[in-house]
Structure 1
Amino acid sequence: MFTLTGNAFHSTTISEIRSESCYRMDRRFHAQGKCKDAYSYYFNAGRLFPKFVLPWFGLAQMYYERNEFTEAASYLEKVNKAYPENVEILSLLGDVYGKLGKKDNAVILLRCVVELEPGIVEALIGTTELLHGSPKWKEQIIAIASYVAAEKVMNNTSERVPMEVYANLGVLQQRVGKTADVITCFKKALKQLGDSSSAN
């Protein structure tokens, strides 16, 4: 496939085909962990045909892996304009905004992810992590609702709910004055801790 893609790139002057060929090659390099080559091809694919935004997503991933979050955000914002309801893009951009300290923007995007696909635990937990330490009552309630939703998703998929989810949920319940819920959460956390200790 790589040879065919390379031939397509070299045998045409049509920018769309050359861009698509570069994109195919960069995906291969990216999958192989050859980040320097992947970066070069992503960049060229985007340069050859700027309306083709998938290379920008690849570049954003490369910057994310290098902890260059400002650059990652810049490319993700371009891709998000073209695909405003793509949960993968929204999730990554929300995570990047969180790392850049743009908490409000991050929460908005992660909640959009949950509205589009309610079963994405990572978006629910990401929301709780951003709001967990907030002194604002409303944000604490949103964090509680996100933890509860994540717990339900994990229970419905027979996934083990981590002890930390119950412990953090208990702390939040205490902050909003729900004593009975605090006790329930901490009991569940202790049970999970006991279960994981006996499994080891």
Structure 2
Amino acid sequence: MRILLVEDDAEIGDRLREGLGALGFVIELVRDGETALDFGRQEGFDAIILDLGLPQLPGIEVLRRWRADGCGTPVLILTARSSWTEKVEGLNAGADDYVGKPFHVDEIAARLRALMRRAAGYQAAVLRHGTIVLDPASGLVTVAGAPVELTAREFRLLTFLLHRVGRIVTHAELLDHLYGLEEEPSSNTIEVFIGRLRRKIGRDSIRTLRGLGYRFDAC
């Protein structure tokens, strides 16, 4: 899933980008409040990790402006500030969760998955659609009870589609969620991955809508 990471500390930012990337997230890292404000106004992020102590524009002000603009992307605040008043201020400004520094990357990943599940309307820890069951934490996928082996990008694609059942997703959206800004996939990459995924989970699961994109139909 595609995450906007806003962190001015180079060591922490790089650690999170590498750690979350290894767990299957696509991370876009920005290091100041003004840049974060512009990035967050763009569509296409599944969640945002936001540090409060940012240069140029404080994180709390970035968050307030996002919410005032109608940005509903789940936001996880990550900060060294630990007083309960600052936590209340962040949550009242529109944050969805709060983690203090120091932290464990696995905890951040778990909290992000929980935020995205809730945003997509899932209550359980696993994603289910018909006979398809996907566990974001373990990486296990089954179809009609039988395990299915997926590559990292196939798993990422299936997760993205399960969070958007019944919605049309465009070719550009899929590219954004499978690749970072620094990667340059070939023009037919999405078609290849869709074809592979269909062979593994069922050819009728994903519909192609000519000129529009793809849709994972509701059961």
TM-score after normalising by structure 1: 0.30
Where relative contact order (Cα < 8 A, 6+ residues apart) is larger, the structure is: 2
User: Which structure shows the higher helix fraction?
Assistant: 1
User: Bigger radius of gyration, 1 or 2?
Assistant: 1
